[in-house]
Amino acid sequence: MGHGCACTVCAMVRYAEPGAVEWVESGGGPLIAVPETVLPFWAGADGEETASDYDRACEVDGYCGLLPVGDSAALVLGDEPASTAFLPEHGMFVRWTAANSEDELLAEVPAAVATADWDDEVDWEVPGPVVLFDSAWPGTETGRTESLRVALEPGRYAVRAANVQPGPETWVGLVQLRRVAG
């Protein structure tokens, strides 16, 4: 490591370092977080229906919304297709709208959270871990595209979103998940 190589082993080590963040991008449509248990039921842009799952995801208004998938629901990250990471220490998806660097963006997250004008919350019942990926892909193909597994505990989450400008050249989207008792 540290020799400027981009080999798989070094990339894996880089992601294992404390503070390293893994980002997921889409080809232009919304990203979606689908519970692992219902991944096979997400058809993406494929399918015989007049409106594909991808079309349904594109119809979600605002920064986030829920769509039924199998016997569960997926969280659609709407608005614009920004690079997105999950910060477990904040319990939130962070969307890179504008920043000069990853370090600058991540340093602004606490200020963004403190000053956010949050949208209305939605309740999301989660059966366990979810996978974040480009909603155009079928759930069975997430191994072939950029995806991120987020280890959520089963239960109910209050989800709220905001788009914040914490610095003069920094815009960040926040989608916060808070575990709800009961």
Q: What is the pLDDT of residue 163?
A: 95
pLDDT at 83: 94
Residue 11, judged by CB atoms within 10 A of its CB (0-12, 13-18, 19+), counts as exposed
pLDDT at 12: 35
Q: How many CB atoms lie within 10 A of CB 4?
A: 6
Residue 19's pLDDT is 54
Cα dihedral across residues 115, 116, 118, 123: positive or negative? negative
**Residue numbers in the chain where pLDDT is lower than 50:** 1-18
Residue type, 159: V
What is each CA distance from 179 to 65, 149, 154, 158, in whole angstroms? 17, 18, 9, 6
- Residue 175: the pLDDT is 97
- Quote the pTM value: 0.85
| Architecture of the domain delimited by 22-180 | Sandwich (2.60)
pLDDT tens digits, 92-139:
999 999 999 999 999 999 999 999 999 999 999 999 999 999 999 999
